[in-house]
Structure 1
Amino acid sequence: MGLKTFTVDFVNLKSNESIRLWVPFVLPKSKYRYEKINNFLSVCESGSRPKGGINDEDDGEAISLGGEQIGVDGSLDLSKIPYVSFDFYDSVAKGKVQDNDILICKDGALTGKSCWVDFSLFPSDKVMVNEHVYILRGSSEINQKFLFYYTTTNLFQSQVKDLAYRKKAQPGLNLDHFKKIKIPLVSKEEQDKIVAKIEPIENKIKKLKAQITPPQEIINQVFAREFKFDLAKFEELKNVKHLEVDFLNINNHKDLRFSVSDFKNYLLFIKSSTLIPQDEFPEISIKRILEDSSCQILKKRELDFEYLLIELENVGNNNGLVLDIQEVSEIGSDKLLFADADILTTKLRPYLGKSILNEFEKEAIGTTEWIPLKINQNLVLKEYLLYILLSSFYVEKSTLLMSGKNHPRIKPEILFDFQIPYIPLNFQQKIVDEIKSELEKQEEIKRKIESKRDEIDKIIKTSLKIN
């Protein structure tokens, strides 16, 4: 039988999953034999959530950790703790977390990122994970700390990317992948020695982490200082449950006419805004500073060229940072074209504080859960508005005004009615510069931490005799 030849249009390679180009990761040579990591795990499982999702009524009961609580740097973000009921926690067999467990993101932008569980940081020892996180617990043959440090290495992360990012859809790890991920077979004694070398560096990292102030706290402090109001007073007002209501004015706002709960929440927003002296800092509604944008919805299809894809899971909570960017030439669901929008802020679960500047090098698209904002910068600087949207003052108020039980959202028209301090542009720039300066100090600390992480990676690589 003769050799058959075919003509291939390389433009169409991306359309066929079976012939798309992929360079697989090749394990580097090591002094030690590679074994399946699955052979050294006593537990590798994910959890679940109640039908209907998280309920605010369960606050303070059992902690439910998801991918959003796992930081890029291997830390746990417990600033916004999701809870499930004790009844649900007691009813499930899988997904219950123990002290010194390892948690790994199962899917999304941070797939493969891991963190160490230290119960001393938790308000409760009733902790579980949802369906987006794996619990790893080593067997008696492996040092649990060694296993954790291994999950942070380039060797482990490269294998994760090789397996989880092959598909066209959102990246993800499944249990079969753990049967393919390899780990050098090192004696328990040697593992202990490696951990002993790493621990002093880890202690230095902990000290550096203790110097980090969350971005939202920095933003809050600058606004409080410049607008001369008391943060403690703001925290006190957040807990106010009973407010006086003038029912004669209830029909002045369309979102307040039929819901006593919404009415109470709206009044809480108005009350908290009086923290800023109105005669010194007049306010302006967001809708008055908006301009028409050319944003549009792209229907699911194969695209004419590649776009950057920025989904909610690609963005950090309360920090304005994009954690991961993908390039796509095909979309399986409708997406928002960012076009000339200056800011994107989420309408879904606004309490997560996901807002970003649209300053990407290429055209970007993302979920239709984004609300695009094009700003008249003769009135308000885009960075100034971004920091307001990232502050607790907006996040807390938006939480009170969102609607929907399982997938709470803030309506764009409610967001547009929010009042922000309307001050001269040079004063806005001063605030922006102050915040940027403080945030840069935090980034310098993070760079030092990353340098220490590289030292750990080198120790493991050298100890395992990896070329």
Structure 2
Amino acid sequence: MTWPTKKLGEILKSIESGYRPKGGVRHIREGVPSIGAEHLTSSGGFNFEKIKYIPRDFFEKLNRGIIRHGDVLVVKDGATTGRVSLVTNDFPFDKSAVNEHVFILRPNTENILSEFLFNFLFSEKGQRQILQTFHGMAQGGIDSKFVNFVEIPLPPLSEQKKIVEKIEKLFAKIDEAERLRAETLAASAALLPSAFHQVFNRAKKENWPTKKLREIAILNPKKQEVNSLSDDLLASFVPMSAVDEITQTIKEYEFRRLGSIKKGYTYFKEGDILFAKITPCMENGKVAIAKNLKNGIGFGSTEFHVLRPRDKVLAEWIFYIVGSHAFREEAERHMTGTAGQQRVPIGFLEDAKIPLPPLSEQKKIVAYLDALSQKSRELQKLQQQTAADFSALRQSVLAQAFNQNS
């Protein structure tokens, strides 16, 4: 049996978007949640860790963009255009609205179940159809006319219900497997913080001296050091994207002529520590030691601070301290600048105090942390691979569910 199809626009009660007060909402600390693209996850759910608000009186005057149970939300522009999430009964807000970057699709439930519509649009087939009308470059996206180009299979409601139940049953098994894998990842992620806690307890117990970073490291060394070198000399180049926040290593280097990079980029040399200063790179953990540089020198993004260890301190010791979650949380509290362009000022790093055990003790602790880091990285890579497998498995389930030949 072949299911009939309809254009998405034909089975919706409405499609609408929202808006926010003039001047934005960054300064608003309470009110009604304003849901944007950043709150929709790749798994079809929501992440409300960094919620934003609109004033209650502004919300009460809205005539569109108000979220209801059963709505399907679609990101309309930016890097995640087409991402969809379903507003289920366990959605945590009684009152909320979308902003100008999200569409609300409100289905006509006499023709289609919200869950059926969501699962189709979440499928690879649905995503391809949504994105076929994508237009624009820097901030491209879709407009409301996309609903006229998406073909929705439309079995009877009773059949839709069976399909949804089957999908949810299989997804529940995948969710449980993901939960168990996430527990393993959480346990691996706790290894280093636990080790640091032990280290700092020892620091207090054994009265290790504390030093300001500027006392034990040169911060942002001057590039005059390479002025005498030939412009034709090859050097390593490190864009921000080359630093892996999971492994905290440099994934790969580009090689460029010194003359093309020594102006306008950040200078460093073999053994220096690169510390991302801009949000969200710093919070995400983009910290690494520069190793195996071409001719021992490198240049990279201007959004790096560079730390060069002085005598009697290991680069790895500084790296583990400044790359730790606790240190980066403190750095985040000292960021300056406007939203989206906040940076860690060099003054914070200069005055940051860290414990400094004897060099022999640093070596022992670093060796221990290296072993833990390697174990943690292996588990995190496995989690990434497994996450991709789970995503593919979900799409396989959806592909079978929406096969029109029964």
| Structure 2 residue 106 is the aligned partner of structure 1 residue 137 | yes
The answer (yes or no) to whether the contact 2:17–2:65 under 8 Å persists in 1 is yes
The answer (yes or no) to whether the contact 1:107–1:132 under 8 Å persists in 2 is yes
| Structure 2 residue 289 is the aligned partner of structure 1 residue 371 | no
Q: Which residue of 2 is the match for residue 347 of structure 1? A: 278
The answer (yes or no) to whether the contact 2:275–2:306 under 8 Å persists in 1 is no
The answer (yes or no) to whether the contact 2:285–2:328 under 8 Å persists in 1 is no
Q: Which of 220, 228, 235 is matched with 2:197 structurally?
A: 228
- Aligned pairs for 1:316-335 within 5 A: none
Q: Which of 298, 322, 330 is matched with 1:397 structurally?
A: 330
- TM-score, length-normalised on structure 1? 0.60
- Aligned pairs for 1:365-444 within 5 A: 371-373=303-305, 379-380=315-316, 384=320, 387-388=323-324, 391=325, 393-394=326-327, 396-403=329-336, 409-414=342-347, 416-417=349-350, 418-419=352-353, 423-424=362-363, 425-443=366-384
Q: SS of the counterpart of 2:131?
A: helix
Q: Which residue of 2 is the match for residue 39 of structure 1? A: 10
Q: Which residue of 1 is the match for residue 60 of structure 2? A: 90
Cα distance in structure 2, aligned partners of 1:82 and 1:276: 40
Q: Which residue of 2 is the match for residue 50 of structure 1? A: 21
Q: Which residue of 2 is the match for residue 285 of structure 1? A: 213
| Structure 2 residue 381 is the aligned partner of structure 1 residue 450 | no
Cα distance in structure 2, aligned partners of 1:185 and 1:178: 15
Q: SS of the counterpart of 1:115?
A: strand
Q: Which residue of 1 is the match for residue 139 of structure 2? A: 170
Q: Deviation of residue 191 (structure 1)?
A: 1.9
| Residues 192, 380 of structure 1: alpha-carbon distance in 2 compared, 3 angstrom cutoff | same
| Residues 290, 222 of structure 1: alpha-carbon distance in 2 compared, 3 angstrom cutoff | farther
| Residues 80, 161 of structure 1: alpha-carbon distance in 2 compared, 3 angstrom cutoff | same
Q: Which residue of 2 is the match for residue 303 of structure 1? A: none
Cα distance in structure 1, aligned partners of 2:198 and 2:91: 31
Q: Please tell me the residue identity of whatever aligns with 1:455.
A: S
Question: Gapped runs of 5+ residues in structure 2?
Answer: 225-238, 249-263, 291-300, 357-361
- Aligned pairs for 1:45-194 within 5 A: 45-55=16-26, 57-59=28-30, 61-118=31-88, 120=90, 122=92, 124-140=93-109, 141-164=111-134, 166-194=135-163
Q: SS of the counterpart of 2:10?
A: helix
Q: Deviation of residue 453 (structure 1)?
A: 0.5
Q: SS of the counterpart of 2:69?
A: coil
Q: SS of the counterpart of 1:52?
A: coil
Structure 1 vs Structure 2 CA RMSD: 4.5
Cα distance in structure 2, aligned partners of 1:191 and 1:101: 17
Q: Which of 165, 180, 183 is matched with 1:196 structurally?
A: 165
Q: SS of the counterpart of 1:227?
A: helix
1:56-111 CA distance string (max 9 Å, x none): 5524x322222222222223122333333323332322222223322222222211
Q: Which residue of 1 is the match for residue 256 of structure 2? A: none
Cα distance in structure 2, aligned partners of 1:185 and 1:203: 24
Q: Deviation of residue 136 (structure 1)?
A: 2.0
Cα distance in structure 2, aligned partners of 1:160 and 1:129: 19
Question: Gapped runs of 5+ residues in structure 1?
Answer: 1-29, 231-272, 295-308, 322-335, 360-367
| Residues 37, 432 of structure 1: alpha-carbon distance in 2 compared, 3 angstrom cutoff | same
| Residues 293, 113 of structure 1: alpha-carbon distance in 2 compared, 3 angstrom cutoff | farther
Cα distance in structure 2, aligned partners of 1:75 and 1:167: 27
Q: Deviation of residue 426 (structure 1)?
A: 2.6
Cα distance in structure 2, aligned partners of 1:346 and 1:46: 35
Q: SS of the counterpart of 1:449?
A: helix
Q: Deviation of residue 38 (structure 1)?
A: 1.5
The answer (yes or no) to whether the contact 1:66–1:132 under 8 Å persists in 2 is yes
1:181-233 CA distance string (max 9 Å, x none): 22234333332232122121122233234336499966873343112269xxx
- TM-score, length-normalised on structure 2? 0.68
Cα distance in structure 2, aligned partners of 1:219 and 1:404: 34
Q: Please tell me the residue identity of whatever aligns with 2:283.
A: G
Q: Which residue of 2 is the match for residue 20 of structure 1? A: none
The answer (yes or no) to whether the contact 1:95–1:128 under 8 Å persists in 2 is yes
Q: SS of the counterpart of 1:74?
A: coil
Number of residue pairs matched by the alignment: 347
